[in-house]
Amino acid sequence: MPGFFMSLIVTSQLMQFPGELALTSGAVLGDYRLAYETYGTLNADKSNAVLVCHALNASHHVAGSYAGQPKSEGWWDNMIGPGKSVDTQRFFVIGINNPGSCFGSTGPMDVNPATGEVYGADFPVLTVEDWVNAQALLLDRLGITRLAAVMGGSLGGMQALSWTLQYPERVRHAIVVASAPNLSAENIAFNEVARRAIATDPDFHGGNYYRHGVVPQRGLRIARMIGHITYLSDDVMNAKFGRELREAVDGVVRSDYHYSTQDVEFQIESYLRYQGDKFSSYFDANTYLLITRALDYFDPARTHGGDLTQALAVTRAKFLLVSFSTDWRFAPARSRETVHALLENRRDVSYAEIDAPHGHDAFLLDDPRYMSVVRSYFDGIAKELS
């Protein structure tokens, strides 16, 4: 009954935190709000909560659709919902938007209560650890002491891993998908190019563009185009676009070049420009800078002399890690580093390496093997709880 799967209607909620969130940097975030959504029902002993952490371009809107907006499915709606791999008829699933985001939680476009001015460039730099602390405070308010599971893909997987380090007693299971224990030099390099594209856009105004009534759209466009290349595999790009020329307006595939450096010649160019334009029309540039920086900084082994095994010794959770064969942003080898470090600590780890052609994007796509691995794992969690 596919109609059944479509029926989850959800609403966004906001929770205000009047206190100050102490940040890793030494700064504080004062009087902030978090946007979140919940799906399913918290059981009597509050043991069935699953927290979902989001990646760069995502939000607390993880599953379901908003009333009257059938195309507003959450970003992991193929994974989470009634009867799905993470079954909201059994689990109480929470999606949280991280502070610094532009999708509902307090971010750089908000007014800094300390100055009465829009934050802009003054928004404090946040780390993965800070986000996890903010998420923990929201769980406190919901009365949830211990999570059945925390899960996330990519940057969301880093948050899930960090939960098991910061709050080892509050996490039964961590599901870490298409992630890494830190960024490689190449990962940082791509982030840096994206940040420079934004920061050198004349409309950036040092991050205070709001008060000039502009946004650094050119820079954001470039940032997103770079990002998109790293989300896809070379294979899937060749399969999807190859060297195809852009279709003419009438749908006829051209066979000859324009001989122009400015016109779109190839389908891949058209695709990237479209993605860049779309993204730059809704995403906030300061948020992009903040989130890529949080990615750069994440490195739990850093305070242990680079020894990941030592860093993961505090974990108490059980783990499922999933990686995808053609993901070159967070390659399977990066997930295996975490798996090995956990095994050296004799932790309970399941690991699936899915042979999928879609690169990093695979973690958002509907691969049946991937979905069934997660389903089986959550079946196991449900059995533990019952």
Residues lying near a second copy in the complex (CB under 8 A): 24-27, 124-125, 127, 182-186, 188-190, 192-193, 195-197, 199-202, 207, 218, 221-222, 225-226, 228-229, 232, 234, 237-238, 240-243, 257, 259-262, 265-266, 268-269, 272-273, 276, 286, 289-290, 292-293, 296-297, 299, 302
Residues designated catalytic: 154, 327, 360
Q: How far is the CB of 19 from a second copy (least distance, A)?
A: 21
Exposure string over 180-199, b if 16+ CB within 10 A, otherwise e: bbbbeeebbebbeebbebbe
Q: How far is the CB of 257 from a second copy (least distance, A)?
A: 6
If the CB atoms of residues 184 and 350 are measured against a second copy, the closer one turns out to be 184
Q: How far is the CB of 337 from a second copy (least distance, A)?
A: 12
Which of 53, 59, 48, 56 minimizes the C-alpha distance to 12? Answer: 59
Q: How far is the CB of 125 from a second copy (least distance, A)?
A: 4
Exposure string over 290-315, b if 16+ CB within 10 A, otherwise e: bbbbbbbbbbbbeeeeeebebbbbeb
Q: How far is the CB of 306 from a second copy (least distance, A)?
A: 9
If the CB atoms of residues 90 and 228 are measured against a second copy, the closer one turns out to be 228
Sign, CA torsion 258/264/267/269:
positive
Identify whether the C-beta of residue 154 lies closer than 8 Å to the C-beta of residue 187.
no
Residues 6+ apart with CB under 8 A from 145: 46, 139, 170
If the CB atoms of residues 51 and 222 are measured against a second copy, the closer one turns out to be 222
If the CB atoms of residues 211 and 273 are measured against a second copy, the closer one turns out to be 273
If the CB atoms of residues 74 and 181 are measured against a second copy, the closer one turns out to be 181
Phi, psi torsion values for 258, nearest 5 degrees: -85, -20
Looking at the DSSP bridge assignments, the partners of residue 21 are 29
- Report which DSSP code applies to 111: B
Distance between CA atoms of residues 227 and 224, nearest Å: 5
